[in-house]
Amino acid sequence: MAADVEVICIGNELLIGKIENTNARWLAQQITRLGAVVKRITVIPDSIEAIATTILEAKERKPSLIITTGGLDPTFDDKTFQGIAKALNQKLVVNQIAYEMVKKKCTAYAKKYAISSDFEMTPECTKMATMPANATPVNNIIGAAPALHVDLGGTLLFALPGVPKEMASIFDNAISIVIKQIVGPYSFLEKSLFLEDIFESRLAPLIVKVMNDNPGVYIKSHPICSPNSDSLELHFTMSGGTPNSVETLENTVKELTFLIKEKGGKIITSGL
């Protein structure tokens, strides 16, 4: 079954271009490889209003999953749980399971760095365990801030931390299995051809013909602009679970290769 996923990345640092949004690409790759489809990635500021609005907009489009990243840490600007609570019209409460998760992490951390012998949970530590009433905490093996999931009614929302290795670990441990359960035996196949000596505009009608001949295969051309060449990449993709998907993709590549050569184009390499 198809599973649509929306990714919402929360953080002013992304909107000022301070950091590359590597989380979005990493999630897009993992989700695609699992056979699901990322329909939208939205980057928004650390604002309760923006978080709540964006979640509600995404929910309206009825994806199987919404995954947020960022905004789970103890500082004032981490507002994801508050935004989710606002979107769901739920109260924020200290979740006891999450509280124990945070306490365990912080105690271990304080011990390791010998910061204080009388470690206690500050309001900021408690904030990391203060979640919308209906949410279920998800353990963060690497960092202190627990993630959560909550059922929006047909759509499952996961809120992950923004730190890439924490985000990736929780995705791998808690989300990938959920996606695979929805998607079933579907998979994602891809293949690339690199070519030159043909205009993209001359190539366009050939692509349309070959796509019509091979339903289910999507072909996209990407200009590759290096100082010494104006070559093109043709990227073939297919989501499917039938035993002959691989063969269909291979046949599509062959058919287009033939048409390109007929028009004087040259295949440089065939990737993936």
Residues from 183 through 222 that contact a copy of itself (CB under 8 A): 188, 190, 197, 199-205, 207-208, 211, 218, 220-222
Name the segment binding a copy of itself (CB under 8 A); options: 109-117, 132-140, 240-248, 254-262. 109-117
Locate the DSSP E strands across the chain.
4-10, 37-44, 65-69, 92-94, 130-132, 136-138, 147-151, 156-160, 187-196, 217-226, 229-240, 266-271
Min. distance of Cβ 184 from a copy of itself in angstroms? 19
143 binds a copy of itself (CB under 8 A): yes
Q: Binding residue for a copy of itself (CB under 8 A) from 63, 100, 124, 214?
A: 124
Q: Which of 2, 115, 141, 177 binds a copy of itself (CB under 8 A)?
A: 115
Beta carbon nearer to a copy of itself, 25 or 62: 25
* Residue 48 or 110 with smaller CB distance to a copy of itself: 110
- The one among 34, 85, 106, 129 contacting a copy of itself by CB under 8 A: 106
Q: How far is the CB of 90 from a copy of itself (least distance, A)?
A: 24
Subset of 248-267 contacting a copy of itself (CB under 8 A):
264
> Is residue 62 involved in binding a copy of itself (CB under 8 A)?
no
For the bound state, the minimum distance from the C-beta of residue 168 to a copy of itself, rounded and expressed in Å, comes to 12
C-alpha 147/C-alpha 70 separation (Å) is 10
Q: Please check whether residue 35 is in contact with residue 182, taking contact to mean a CB–CB distance below 8 angstroms.
A: no
Among 148, 58, 52, smallest CA distance to 97 is for: 148
Within 4-43, which residues bind a copy of itself (CB under 8 A)?
12-22, 24-32, 37-43
Count residues near a copy of itself (CB under 8 A). 74
Nearest to 75 by CA among 112, 122, 16: 122
> What is residue 139's DSSP assignment?
-
Taking the C-alpha atoms of residue 140 and residue 190, their distance in angstroms, rounded to an integer, is 33
Cβ closest to a copy of itself, residue 90 vs residue 268: 268
Nearest distance, CB of residue 240 and a copy of itself, angstroms: 15
Non-local CB neighbours of 14 within 8 Å, separated by 6+ positions: 21, 43, 70
Contact yes or no for 185/241 (Cβ under 8 A): yes
Q: What are phi and psi of 110, to 5 degrees?
A: -60, -40
SS3 7: strand
